[in-house]
């Protein structure tokens, strides 16, 4: 995919649609049809709020399904995410991304192909990380071959030093892994996040990721993946090429709350100062 032409801006802001628990998840309503209706309604409503607030793209993920499957999710999860993503696509023409937690890139890519989405987010694309699901390993070799078999132009946005995880490699390897993710894993964009959902990325760590990209002579975009606020977005976009934002766009700054279009507009206005 062509990054800038996909988002029609050099520094896109991508808003999150955090799905409530899908049928079969521990915290979902006992009535599976009720759970699916609630997820679809929330997804559509959040998509409208994000669009009206002025974001440049949307990412949908099964955030409410904790505790997450470490890699392959069962078919009912794929079906649920597909239905919700279809609802989002019906509400907006914004570029759409899919993330199937914790790390089912095959499912995300399949959903993206089915609904005409533009990219997927893959938490562990190359290497391995220690997570609350255990050791999660990247499967870049499978993901990219599946994309070729499906014949779809779907970008792979891959995390480096992904949140809610720790490295298996020696300290100081994080920045070097950018080359593995982008050059050997062929990711279309790389995401740098803070330690957890809604937590700010360390600016030195972000700078080291961008410096490593330059050292390797790469032009792969770097996105900030967590903790972006109206107060920080301008400074972060001075370094990074875009941002994925969730918590700061929700009512009351609560990750699981609905999207607040006014908070979206505030973030976009702050970002436009440097875009």
Asked, for residue 1, whether it belongs to a domain, the answer is no
pLDDT of res. 172: 54
* More confident position, 212 or 97: 97
Q: How many folded domains does the chain comprise?
A: 1
Q: Report if residue 145 sits inside a domain.
A: yes
DSSP summary character for residue 21: P
65: in domain: yes
Report residue 128 CA to chain centroid gap: 18
Q: What is the mean pLDDT of residues 22-48?
A: 97
Average pLDDT for residues 129-142, to the nearest whole number?
91
The domain spanning residue 179 has which CATH number? 3.20.20.70
Give a yes or no: residue 236 inside a domain: yes
How large a percentage of the chain has pLDDT more than 70?
97
Mean pLDDT, the chain, as a whole number? 93
pTM for this entry: 0.94
Q: Does residue 10 register a pLDDT over 90?
A: no
Domain of residue 89: give its range.
Answer: 6-271
Which residues touch 221 (CB under 8 Å, ≥6 apart)?
Answer: 3, 188, 189, 190, 241, 242
pLDDT at 17: 98
The burial class, CB within 10 Å (0-12 / 13-18 / 19+), for 183 is middle
Q: Which of 98, 89, 191 is nearest to 147 (CA)?
A: 98
Helix (H) or strand (E) holding 175: none
């Amino acid at each position: 995919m062509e990054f800038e032409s996909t988002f029609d801006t050099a520094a896109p802001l991508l808003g999150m649609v955090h799905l409530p628990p899908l049928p079969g998840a521990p915290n979902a309503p006992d009535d599976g049809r009720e759970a699916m209706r609630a997820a679809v309604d929330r997804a559509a409503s959040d998509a409208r709020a994000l669009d009206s607030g002025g974001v440049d793209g949307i990412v949908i993920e099964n955030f409410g399904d904790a505790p997450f499957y470490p890699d392959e999710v069962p078919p009912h999860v794929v079906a649920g995410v597909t239905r919700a993503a279809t609802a989002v696509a019906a509400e907006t023409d914004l570029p759409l991304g899919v993330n199937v937690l914790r790390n089912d890139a095959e499912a995300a890519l399949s959903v993206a192909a089915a609904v005409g989405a533009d990219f997927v987010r893959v938490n562990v694309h190359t290497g391995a990380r220690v997570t609350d699901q255990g050791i999660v390993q990247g499967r870049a070799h499978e993901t990219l071959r599946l994309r070729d078999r499906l014949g779809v132009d779907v970008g792979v946005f891959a995390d480096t030093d992904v949140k809610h995880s720790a490295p298996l490699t020696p300290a100081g390897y994080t920045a070097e892994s950018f080359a593995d993710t982008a050059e050997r894993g062929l990711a279309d964009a790389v995401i740098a996040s803070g330690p957890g959902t809604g937590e700010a990325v360390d600016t030195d760590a972000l700078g080291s990721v961008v410096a490593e990209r330059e050292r390797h002579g790469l032009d792969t975009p770097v996105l900030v993946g967590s903790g972006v606020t109206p107060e920080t977005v301008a400074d972060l976009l001075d370094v990074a090429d875009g941002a994925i934002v969730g918590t700061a766009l929700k009512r009351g700054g609560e990750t699981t709350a609905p999207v607040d279009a006014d908070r979206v507009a505030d973030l976009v206005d702050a970002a436009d100062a440097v875009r």
